[in-house]
Amino acid sequence: MTPGAPDLKPSQTGPLGVYLHIPFCRQRCHYCSFNTGPYRPAAMERFLSALLSEIDLVGEARWAGGVSIGTVFFGGGTPSLLEGDEMEAVLNRLRKRFTLAPAAEVTVECNPESLTRDKAEGCRLAGVNRLSLGVQSLDDDLLARLGRLHSPVEARRAFNEARAAGFDNLSVDLMYGLPGLDLARWESAVGEILAWRPEHLSAYALTLDEGSRWASEGVAGLPDEDTVTAQYWALARLARQTGYEHYEISNYARDGFRSRHNQVYWRAEEYLAFGPGACGFLGDVRYGNVKPVERYCAMLEAGSLPLGTHEVLTPGQREAERRILGLRLTDGVPLPWLKDRRPLIDTWHSLGLLEIAGGRCRLTEAGFLLSDSLFVHLL
Ligand code: SF4
């Protein structure tokens, strides 16, 4: 551990989550603000070697041998640029240093153009049991405008090939509030995706985040707020009609297929993070690795952990986080967690934004829609 670095150590006894950041893409989408750079085979090779070293270094901690891992998430970037044997090498290194629970959920984010039948089979043989497919839109023009590399035809092909390769736990990512997207086209896309019967669906409204091309250059044709709101409600209605649970603000699942990994975040549980810019949470410390891939690799090649930032949360901060994260889920939080906000809770309840039942408070779908502005009051 370097001087000034926090004493990273889990405090929970149950299994931890693991997030692995794969920081390469073939092309940068115009709305993207993630920590990702151009894919080059040599850069991927160097990065993978650094990633394995990072797992080894963290795995040398005295507590590591006793840690069980309940979920693994390969995120990015474009993790589906990895070959099956590369994913297997990473999972084997986790197995060597920690205990990977036999029933662990292991997810890989995939872009349709890099998911072939062979790739899907390679993932499954490597021990991956869940794929999350970044479809985003089923409209040729919109996909091109977003800077995506796939067409709707490729998205359908990738989904079917993942099924044919034996995956019985598939998630699809969609976006709404996109430039030029009207309600009718959105309903048609949602209807088709739901007819595919993915086990899980994530749908996010477009945000122009700092670091994206659209945030710096602007983008024409964004729908007005009423249209975006109508798209949210159309999705909620269609998902309900087809048997999906709206279990988190932006996430829907068939019975038994909630994302176990994302629930680690929303339940304020602990997780390890590996890769450039990856953020973890252990004990009362939130930490983040350095973001530039070059610096990340160089630090690990020199035998150092690539820690960039950390923050020790006070009990008050932890409590506020637990409340806000818990209210993202339809499970809500125990009523006593909000006892100091009773007038606020009563107001939200009277406005139909919150329900109270069985000693718990939870946001309604109307509350989910306004959650960003509601959560400000809970800080
Ligand atoms: S949105 Fe996903 S695929 Fe597109 S550049 Fe960002 S990380 Fe890569």
- Kindly report, residue by residue over 63-73, the tens digit of the pLDDT: 999 999 999 99
The mean per-residue pLDDT over the stretch 305-316 comes to: 96
| Last residue in a domain, options 247, 266, 285 | 266
Which runs of consecutive H residues, i.e. helices, occur in the chain? 41-59, 84-97, 117-126, 140-146, 152-164, 183-196, 213-217, 225-241, 260-266, 293-301, 315-328, 342-350, 365-369, 371-375
**Is any ligand 1 atom within 6 A of the Cβ of residue 39?**
no
Residue 98 confidence (pLDDT): 97
Residue 1 confidence (pLDDT): 44
| C-alpha span between 61 and 371 (Å, rounded) | 39
Does residue 163 register a pLDDT over 50? yes
The mean per-residue pLDDT over the stretch 216-233 comes to: 97
Residue 209 covered by a domain: yes
Residue 242 sits in the same domain as residue 364 = no
Pairing of strands 307-312, 285-289: antiparallel
Can you say how many angstroms the Cα of residue 333 is from the centroid of all Cα atoms in its chain?
A: 21
Cα of 148 from ligand 1 centre, angstroms: 8
Residue 4 confidence (pLDDT): 62
221: left (phi over 0), alpha (psi -120 to 50) or beta: left
User: Of the candidates 354, 362, 372, 370, which has an alpha carbon nearest to the alpha carbon of residue 330?
Assistant: 362
Does residue 7 register a pLDDT over 90? no
Is the pLDDT higher at 14 or at 5? Answer: 14
Identify any residues that bridge with 115 across adjacent strands, giving them in sequence order. Answer: none
Residue 262 sits in the same domain as residue 336 = no
Residue 237 sits in the same domain as residue 341 = no
pLDDT band of residue 6 (cuts 50, 70, 90) is: confident
Query: What's the total number of domains in the chain?
Result: 2
Mutating to test ligand 1, I would choose from 20, 36, 74 the residue with most ligand atoms within 8 A of its C-beta, which is 36
Does residue 145 register a pLDDT over 90? yes
Q: Is 39 exposed, middle or buried (0-12, 13-18, 19+ CB in 10 A)?
A: middle
Cα of 174 from ligand 1 centre, angstroms: 13
State phi, psi for 355 to the nearest 5 degrees: -115, 150
Cα of 30 from ligand 1 centre, angstroms: 9
Cα of 13 from ligand 1 centre, angstroms: 34
Residue 251 confidence (pLDDT): 98
Residue 258 confidence (pLDDT): 98
The mean per-residue pLDDT over the stretch 118-136 comes to: 98
Q: List the domain range (segments joined by +) for residue 346.
A: 332-379
Cα of 216 from ligand 1 centre, angstroms: 17
The residue nearest atom 1 of ligand 1, judged by CA position, is 32
Residue 239 sits in the same domain as residue 352 = no
Q: Which atom of ligand 1 is nearest to the CA of 111?
A: 3
The mean per-residue pLDDT over the stretch 340-364 comes to: 96
Residue 51 covered by a domain: yes
The mean per-residue pLDDT over the stretch 14-30 comes to: 97
Residue 123 sits in the same domain as residue 235 = yes
The mean per-residue pLDDT over the stretch 333-361 comes to: 95
**Is any ligand 1 atom within 6 A of the Cβ of residue 36?**
yes
Q: Is 32:222 a contact under the CB 8 Å cutoff?
A: no
SS3 of 257, please?
coil
Q: Which atom of ligand 1 is nearest to the CA of 31?
A: 1
Residue 248 sits in the same domain as residue 101 = yes
User: Of the candidates 236, 262, 234, which has an alpha carbon nearest to the alpha carbon of residue 132?
Assistant: 262
The residue nearest atom 7 of ligand 1, judged by CA position, is 77
The mean per-residue pLDDT over the stretch 256-278 comes to: 98
- Kindly report, residue by residue over 77-90, the tens digit of the pLDDT: 999 999 999 999 99
| Last residue in a domain, options 239, 266, 293 | 266
Residue 32 covered by a domain: yes
Residue 346: half-sphere exposure toward Cβ, Cα within 13 Å? 5
Q: Which atom of ligand 1 is nearest to the CA of 33?
A: 6
**Is any ligand 1 atom within 6 A of the Cβ of residue 32?**
yes
Identify any residues that bridge with 171 across adjacent strands, giving them in sequence order. Answer: 132, 200
Q: Is the peptide bond before 77 cis (omega within 30 degrees of 0)?
A: yes
| C-alpha span between 251 and 330 (Å, rounded) | 10
Does residue 189 register a pLDDT over 90? yes
Does residue 379 register a pLDDT over 90? no
SS3 of 300, please?
helix
Cα of 37 from ligand 1 centre, angstroms: 9
| Last residue in a domain, options 225, 250, 266 | 266
Cα of 94 from ligand 1 centre, angstroms: 25
Q: In CATH, what number is assigned to the domain containing residue 37?
A: 3.20.20.70
User: Of the candidates 219, 274, 209, 211, which has an alpha carbon nearest to the alpha carbon of residue 37?
Assistant: 211
The pLDDT mean for the chain works out to: 96
Residue 323 CB partners (closer than 8 Å, separation 6+): 333, 337, 338, 378
